[in-house]
């Protein structure tokens, strides 16, 4: 994917490797997305950076007090997260923006390691159904109990997991969702406002 540049980024040297998570190592909030965008995180080397989904996400995190600025354009743009960490269930940009079978499973060790290191987590926001399923699979893989049937995905759904984490669901801020109005800024803000409330003393 790093070789298939678009004209507006033809002078960029694309990152073109697995994209790491980003944020505060003492975070109590984890945001889990799907995968790096071909010309976003795959280009810049920072998750949700340099694309419209990232513009929506970091603006919402900024409005909720988790981000130092509302935009994210490159790794060195000064963005800092406070009490939040952003991750994904897949770490490379999928061809044609479609995950290949097994890709989330192969990338799971990245998320498992982050869950191990982020030992203050209390709230997890999953962006989309694939992130929801992938995060619950990671919970099982690290030995945590996940209820059967599994918690249902729906926008603003809230589930209290046996591990002690609260799982909040949101539609993914993809252009497919934001352009059609399936996800609006107030809808996304409501998710992070709820996360903020859950993290309040």
Domains and CATH numbers, the chain: 23-199 (3.40.470.10)
Rounded distance, CA 69 to CA 22, Å? 15
Share of the chain above pLDDT 90, in %: 83
Rounded distance, CA 193 to CA 82, Å? 15
Tens digits of residue pLDDT in 76-118? 999 999 999 999 999 998 877 788 879 999 999 999 999 999 9
In the structure, what pLDDT confidence band is assigned to residue 194 with cuts at 50, 70 and 90?
very high
User: Strand, helix or coil at 167?
Assistant: strand
pLDDT above 60 (res 189): yes
pLDDT at 2: 56
In the structure, what pLDDT confidence band is assigned to residue 49 with cuts at 50, 70 and 90?
very high
Rounded distance, CA 58 to CA 66, Å? 9
Rounded distance, CA 190 to CA 193, Å? 5
DSSP code of 7? Answer: G
pLDDT above 70 (res 53): yes
pLDDT above 80 (res 10): no
Tell me what the pLDDT averaged over the chain comes to.
Answer: 93
The 29-33 sheet, strands edge to edge: 22-23, 84-88, 29-33, 123-127, 166-170, 158-160
Rounded distance, CA 29 to CA 41, Å? 20
pLDDT at 13: 81
pLDDT at 1: 58
Share of the chain above pLDDT 70, in %: 95
Contact at 8 Å (CB) between 70 and 62?
Answer: yes
pLDDT at 131: 97
Rounded distance, CA 90 to CA 131, Å? 9
Contact at 8 Å (CB) between 132 and 40?
Answer: no
Rounded distance, CA 75 to CA 40, Å? 11
pLDDT above 90 (res 197): yes
* pLDDT, mean of residues 62-89: 96
- CB burial class (10 A; 0-12, 13-18, 19+) of residue 148? exposed
């Amino acid at each position: 994917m790093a070789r298939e540049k678009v004209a507006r980024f033809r002078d960029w040297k694309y990152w073109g490797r697995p994209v790491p998570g980003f944020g505060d190592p003492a975070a109590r909030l984890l945001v889990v997305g799907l995968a790096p965008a071909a010309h976003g995180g795959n280009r810049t080397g920072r998750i949700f950076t340099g694309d419209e989904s990232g513009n929506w996400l970091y603006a919402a995190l900024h409005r909720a007090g988790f981000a130092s600025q509302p935009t994210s354009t490159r790794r060195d743009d000064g963005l800092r997260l406070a009490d939040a960490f952003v991750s994904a269930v897949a770490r490379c940009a999928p061809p044609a923006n479609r995950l290949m079978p097994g890709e989330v499973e192969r990338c799971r060790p990245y998320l498992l390691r982050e869950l191990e290191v982020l030992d203050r987590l209390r709230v997890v926001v999953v962006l989309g159904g694939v992130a929801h399923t992938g995060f619950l699979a990671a919970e099982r893989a690290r030995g945590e109990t996940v209820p059967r049937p599994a918690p249902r995905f729906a926008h603003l759904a809230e589930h209290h997991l046996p591990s002690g984490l609260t799982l909040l669901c949101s539609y993914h801020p993809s252009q497919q969702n934001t352009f059609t109005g399936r996800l609006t800024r107030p809808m996304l803000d409501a998710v992070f406002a709820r996360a903020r409330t859950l993290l309040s003393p």
